[in-house]
Structure 1
Amino acid sequence: MSETTTATASATAAHGASIELENLTKRYPGSQQPAVDNVSMEIKAGETVIFVGPSGCGKSTTLKMINRLIEPTGGRIRIDGEDVTDIDPVKLRRKVGYAIQSAGLFPHMTVAQNIALVPKMIGWPKARIRSRVEELLDLVGLDAGEFHGRYPRQLSGGQQQRVGVARALAADPPVLLMDEPFGAVDPITRDHLQDELIRLQHELHKTIVFVTHDFDEAIKLGDRIAVLRERSHIAQFDTPEAILTNPADDFVSGFVGAGAALKRLNLTRVRDVEMREYPTVTVETPLQEIFTVIRASGTNEILLLDKRRRPYKWLRRGDLMRARGSLARAGTLVHDTVTRDATLRDALEAVLTDNAGRVAVTGRRGEYIGVVDMETLMNSVHELLEADRFEAMEAQHELEEARAQQTHFEQEGSGGVTKA
């Protein structure tokens, strides 16, 4: 896609819209209790709000009422101040992006046809649709030339989910609803998809409402989290940090679970910590020059990059000596990388599975950016633990002051009664 097209697309992109739920209720015939009971909530334009709660609590039902895939029994829904409970639901759904688990792609349509579905329905010109499909494939990290004509069965689970997100964004809606979109993929792919969504949101600033049962995913993705009880009653609606450090009650504490300080690693991104500069060479670098780089670096290891500057192998001095002049037999393949948008928890997991205690950081195209190591991550953990201790001491101090003040008032009151 040309720079002009990208600039034009960025200039005309629709940002997020506010969402208001007012006394939203859903009753199914024959059921004694409502599935969703009198839910009120305000979601700011451009923020990512996560609905998390136990199975059957009504979180998906609440989500689907926003675009009226499920019709509310009572209450109001306003998007950017417009009451959508009285407008045509089909038109509403064309203005609200929707992504679900297992992507939900039409198997008889190509990737391009799946993405183009809504723009075609609302009458976009063919040239605009074609440009939008290419733009979105690029946006979600898929090569348009390679994936344009493929069918869903020819894609991996992660690729299908990327196409599903692209389809949801096709008509550039201000609101994106996501119902456990990454629940059916393996953990590694899921982490990468989460990172991709974070990156996309940094670029697009949509209003995202996301349903999950995974509290760690909620912490990683959400600007705010709504912890829901039965019938979508809100137990706590706050920032991830506030919920981790000050859960409203035992129900919310159950979701937080043990290790709140470690869970807070999900609040810090790799881009927020200092990365190590690591000596690098490419597969095209002459062998003698590689030896020179290792000697000059003062380290025993360098990182070999492929022709597209993606991490390929870790090379040690001894590996090169034993390889007898051939890079093909030298070094250890790079199995794990993390992106700049990955959390420190993701990075810690990658580092712990690596014998040398480090992981390469990559950019949008997989290109090498830097390295984070165990020392950097442990310093971050210690800082979080110190912050927790300080907050606990502050809270204890405030509690003791409040108790002392209460005792003082009680003594004054008691003394007054005695004198009377």
Structure 2
Amino acid sequence: MAETPQTPQAPRAPGAAPRSVGATIELEGLTKRYPGSTLPAVDNVSMDIRAGETVVFVGPSGCGKSTTLKMINRLIEPTGGRIRIGGEDVTHMDPVRLRRTIGYAIQASGLFPHMTVAQNIALVPRMLRWPAARVRARVEEMLDLVGLDPGEFHGRYPRQLSGGQQQRVGVARALAADPPVLLMDEPFGAVDPITRDHLQDELIRLQRDLHKTIVFVTHDFDEAIKIGDRIAVLRERSHIAQFDTPEAILTNPADDFVSGFVGAGAALKRLNLTRVRDVEITDYPTVTVDDPLQHIFNRLRSGGTNEILLLDKQGRPYKWLRRGDLMRAKGSLARAGTLVHDTVTRDATLRDALEAVLTDNTGRVAVTGRRGAYEGVVDVETLMNSVHELLEADRLEAREAQHELEEQRAAQTHAEQEGFGGFGGEAKA
């Protein structure tokens, strides 16, 4: 029996438990053929995934992307080919042992309904016979990592959570045993668009801290652009149409099939390549619900803007208050102002931020950190300037590409003329 693949270790503080980082994944001629089928479901897929990168499989329904993913942890057994993780051939090792070294997150979280949040997260560490104290500490750590208050969520059941909270717990469970590899099969496909955006941001933040190797399946090309270091665009039977960075696929799709996935508005899709943290985040006048009304009045009167941001007891954006709101609401915060409908994190894309600005209709969007705490704002002028810069860069790139093409055609024409002239001269002589 093969040994469990060795897991690289990340640097750690003195006295802290080791933390694994990502491992390489090599797929060599991976094939799946079901009995009675004329053609294989997955046909001879070969791919090298670097340690610590996020690779996204995207393709039409039924192309075999989920089947390919599930063969990596052998939830589906390959018919042929090899799988190497961290250099170790895991094709014939005990599949149960293999799965305990690989995190797995699926759509609708897959939590066990009869278990509490803590019991769900602790599942694999307990199977691995971790000491009870270590398991308890890991559960607390994982809840905090995915932005859920351990004291509030520890004893809840899945039915007591929102869809987004369930997905966060699902990710926490997948990471609980500190695996080097995390497989994610359309994990955010069953939640609303706003929650999906925030979960994507959370995954980006986690990956920046943890450096796992993530293989992610989606049918949403915009999601692939946002979270992937590289994207594998798959045809039928998981044939690879293009495997490259999001920017390379957007600017140079390999063929018409890939262009169909990119779709119209490729320049605007590039907004998914730039993060809120890459543009200017400014401070904004704030007050809290615990502040005296007179203090809030004074901030509104003395501020350089016509409105102020009201934060809740946890420091999260709650309402936009404008001059006159408190007077019209007879001095009551309960009826004053406009609720903040959406926020973005520093890991959100400029497209997310632009959509949030348009949704809130305030000309700006609040930027939040861990557990939704206020960090600043991004205004529509900053976002539009970034859009214009991207569009101008695309126009410049298109002009340069056209100029290069014209030079190549001119050089080819000149060469053909020279060749014809030389032939004619020899003949005449």
TM-score range with shorter-chain normalisation? over 0.9
Match of 2:297 among 286, 291, 307: 291
User: 177-186 or 283-292: which moved more?
Assistant: 283-292
Tell me if the contact between 2:148 and 2:371 (Cα under 8 Å) persists in the aligned partners.
Answer: no
Give the AA of the match of 1:288.
Q
The correspondence of residues 117-156 of structure 1 with structure 2, limited to 5 A, is: 117-156=123-162
* Distance in 2, Cα, partners of 1:46 & 1:282: 40
Instruction: Using the TM superposition, give the Cα deviation of residue 403 of structure 1 relative to its aligned residue in structure 2, in angstroms.
Output: 0.9
Give the root-mean-square deviation of aligned CA atoms: 1.6
**Do residues 106 (structure 1) and 112 (structure 2) align?**
yes
Q: Does residue 58 of structure 1 match 2:64?
A: yes
Does structure 1 retain, via aligned residues, the 8 Å contact 2:200–2:227? yes
Within 2, Cα distance between the matches of 1:143 and 1:288? 33
Superposed CA deviations along residues 175-197 of structure 1, whole A, max 9, x for unmatched, are 00001111111212111111111
2:206 corresponding residue in structure 1: 200
In structure 2, the partner of 1:371 is: 377
1:190 to 2:200 alignment = no
Deviates more, 1:316-325 or 1:71-80: 316-325
Change over 3 Å in CA distance of 1:8–1:163 after alignment to 2: farther
Q: 1:397 is matched with which residue?
A: 403
Counterpart amino acid of residue 281 in structure 1:
V
Query: Any residues of structure 2 matched to 1:251-266 within 5 Å, and which?
Result: 251-266=257-272
Separation in structure 2 between the aligned mates of residue 151 and residue 276 of structure 1, nearest angstrom: 39
Over 3 Å counting, the alpha-carbon distance change for 1:67 and 1:9 in structure 2 is farther
User: Taking structure 1 as reference, are residues 7 and 333 closer, same or farther at Cα in structure 2, changes over 3 Å only?
Assistant: farther
Deviates more, 1:218-227 or 1:148-157: 148-157
Q: TM-score, normalised by structure 1?
A: 0.95
Range that drifts further, 273-282 or 232-241: 273-282
**Cα 1:10/1:234, change in 2 over 3 Å:** farther
1:39 is aligned to 2:32:
no
Amino acid at match of 1:350: A
Q: What's the CA shift string for 1:93-148, capped at 9, x where partnerless?
A: 11011111111112222211111111111111111111111110111111222222
CA distances 1:234-271 after superposition (whole Å, capped 9, x unpaired): 00101111111111110000001111111111111111
What is the alpha-carbon distance in structure 2 between the residues aligned to residue 39 and residue 64 of structure 1? 13
Which amino acid counterpart does residue 314 of structure 1 have in structure 2? W
Take 2:155 and 2:166, find their aligned partners in 1: how far apart are those partners?
13
Instruction: For structure 1, list consecutive stretches of 5 or more residues without a partner in the other structure.
Output: 1-5
Distance 1:391 1:9 in 2: 52
1:295-314 matches, within 5 Å, as 295-314=301-320
**Structure 2: which amino acid aligns with 1:28?**
Y
CA distance in 1, matches of 2:361, 2:168: 32
My pick for the range that moved more, 129-138 or 351-360, is 351-360
- Residue of structure 2 equivalent to 1:3: none
Question: Residue 89 of structure 2 is aligned with which of 64, 83, 89?
Answer: 83
Which portions of structure 1, spanning 4 or more consecutive aligned residues, are displaced by more than 6 angstroms?
8-11
The residue type paired with residue 179 of structure 2 is P
Q: Which amino acid aligns with 1:329?
A: R
Give the SS at the match of 1:87.
coil
The alignment of Structure 1 onto Structure 2 pairs a total of residues equal to 415
CA distance in 2, matches of 1:9, 1:163: 27
Identical counterparts, % of pairs? 85
Question: Secondary structure at the residue paired with 1:327?
Answer: coil
The CA distance in 1 between the partners of 2:221 and 2:179, in whole Å, is: 27
Is this contact kept in 1: 2:146–2:172, CA < 8 A? yes
Alpha-carbon distance in structure 2 between the residues aligned to 1:356 and 1:78: 51
**Counterpart amino acid of residue 55 in structure 1:** S
Task: Specify whether residues 288 and 107 from structure 1 end up closer, same or farther in structure 2 by C-alpha distance, changes over 3 A only.
Answer: closer
Shift in Å, 1:321: 3.2
Q: Which secondary structure state, in structure 2, belongs to the residue aligned with residue 328 of structure 1?
A: coil
Q: Among residues 338, 346, 352, which one is paired with 1:346 in the alignment?
A: 352
How far apart are the structure 1 equivalents of 2:148 and 2:293?
34
For 1:166, what is the secondary structure of its paired residue? helix
Aligned match for 1:216, one of 222, 227, 252: 222
- Alpha-carbon distance in structure 2 between the residues aligned to 1:108 and 1:354: 39
The correspondence for 1:164, drawn from 166, 170, 174, is 170
Residues of 2 paired with 1:33 and 1:9: CA distance? Answer: 54
Helix, strand or coil: the match of 1:329?
coil
2:108 alignment partner, SS class: coil
- Aligned-pair distance for 1:295? 3.5
Q: Report the CA distance between 1:285 and its aligned residue.
A: 2.7
The alpha-carbon distance between structure 1 residues 392 and 223, as it changes in their structure 2 partners (threshold 3 A), is: same
